[in-house]
Amino acid sequence: MKTVTTSRLMDMKSASEKITAITAYDASFAKLFDDAGVDVMLIGDSLGMVLKGEKDTLAVTTDEIAYHTKAVSSVAQRAFVIADMPFMSYGTEELALTNAAKLMAAGASMVKVEGGDWLVSTIKKLNERGVPVCGHLGLTPQSVHVFGGFKVQGRVQSQADKLCADAQRLESAGIQMLVLECVPSELAARISQLVSIPVIGIGAGAETDGQILVMHDMLGVSANYMPKFSKNYLAETGDIRAAVKQYIHEVQTGTFPGPEHSFSA
Ligand code: KIV
Ligand code: NA
């Protein structure tokens, strides 16, 4: 078991200690992030975009996530390791159980699923069988074609209320962490107070319980365009280890994200 656990992450929320998270896909970067003191490493299905060069995350497979999860978890000594469940790999409860088992066997300590109340029974089943679950609300990239693009979510009051209700339903179902992506800062702050589990933001302002960035974005080397909510720490520091340390420092002290990296309603 890694040093950072679900109970440690809960304690960090209670103590208002910011949680630092980053995506990781391979052993070398994962070791560097782990040594630097990142709390959480996510094997994100963003790998479809940053590793495979695809336009979205939809073609990523469970076997691909498992391959990269094995590489990351092999070297992680401290950080908590979460693996993304890809598009349609949890479309039914049966699929969710089969595919989550592959990711846990590859070394994940938690799996992440995108979506709201339709996931309640899936989350319960996974929990009952020993799989901790992280939710993901707001801009859920697997639904990009439903949204009609990568757009900020929750700007309309009814949408904001639905996101709050979904966060509470997922918490009752048993999620132990929640990622909130591209929502107005005020809404993210409201949701972070509403639930007792840690909320990790990306493009969600500074008032969540922690932050996550895609590693290629925070190093400014992504093949895709640089999202407004990210920051190029390599340009600032000139060294990858220093860049990661600076990111951790700015998250822990609440200086990242600034208003220029955040969205308003
Ligand atoms: O796939 C990913 O990298 C993610 C994070 C951006 C939260 O889901
Ligand atoms: Na993802």
Domain CATH for 127: 3.20.20.60
What is the C-alpha separation between 37 and 31, in angstroms, rounded?
10
- Over the stretch 168-226, which tens digit does the pLDDT of each residue have? 999 999 999 999 999 999 999 999 999 999 999 999 999 999 999 999 999 999 988 88
Residue 42: which domain range?
6-261
- Over the stretch 237-249, which tens digit does the pLDDT of each residue have? 999 999 999 999 9
114 is in an annotated binding site: yes
pLDDT higher than threshold 80 for residue 2: no
- Over the stretch 117-160, which tens digit does the pLDDT of each residue have? 999 999 999 999 999 999 999 999 999 999 999 999 999 999 99
Phi-psi region of 174 (alpha: psi -120 to 50; beta: other; left: phi over 0): left
Q: Which of 46, 57, 114, 213 to mutate to test the pocket of ligand 1 (most atoms within 8 A of CB)?
A: 46
Residue 86 resides in a domain: yes
* Residue-level pLDDT at 6: 96
For residue 236, give both structure tokens. Answer: 């600032």
Residue 1 resides in a domain: no
The catalytically annotated residue of 64, 181, 207, 250 is 181
Ligand 1 touching residue 209 (CB < 6 A): no
Ligand 1 touching residue 204 (CB < 6 A): no
CA-nearest residue, atom 5 of ligand 1:
44
Q: Would you say the pTM of this structure is higher than 0.95?
A: yes
* Residue-level pLDDT at 88: 98
* Residue-level pLDDT at 223: 86
What is the C-alpha separation between 136 and 114, in angstroms, rounded?
5
Q: Is 80 exposed, middle or buried (0-12, 13-18, 19+ CB in 10 A)?
A: buried
> Catalytic: 181?
yes
Residue 18 resides in a domain: yes
Total domains present in the chain: 1
* Residue-level pLDDT at 153: 97
* Residue-level pLDDT at 206: 98
Residue 189 resides in a domain: yes
* Residue-level pLDDT at 224: 83
pLDDT higher than threshold 70 for residue 115: yes
- Going by DSSP bridges, is the β-strand pair 199-202/110-114 parallel, antiparallel, or unpaired? unpaired
45 is in an annotated binding site: yes
Ligand 1 touching residue 111 (CB < 6 A): no
- Going by DSSP bridges, is the β-strand pair 110-114/133-138 parallel, antiparallel, or unpaired? parallel
Residue 163 resides in a domain: yes
How many other β-carbons are positioned within 10 Å of the β-carbon of residue 182? Answer: 23
- Over the stretch 20-70, which tens digit does the pLDDT of each residue have? 999 999 999 999 999 999 999 999 999 999 999 999 999 999 999 999 999
* Residue-level pLDDT at 1: 64
Write down the residue that tokens 């990111």 correspond to.
Answer: 247
112 is in an annotated binding site: yes
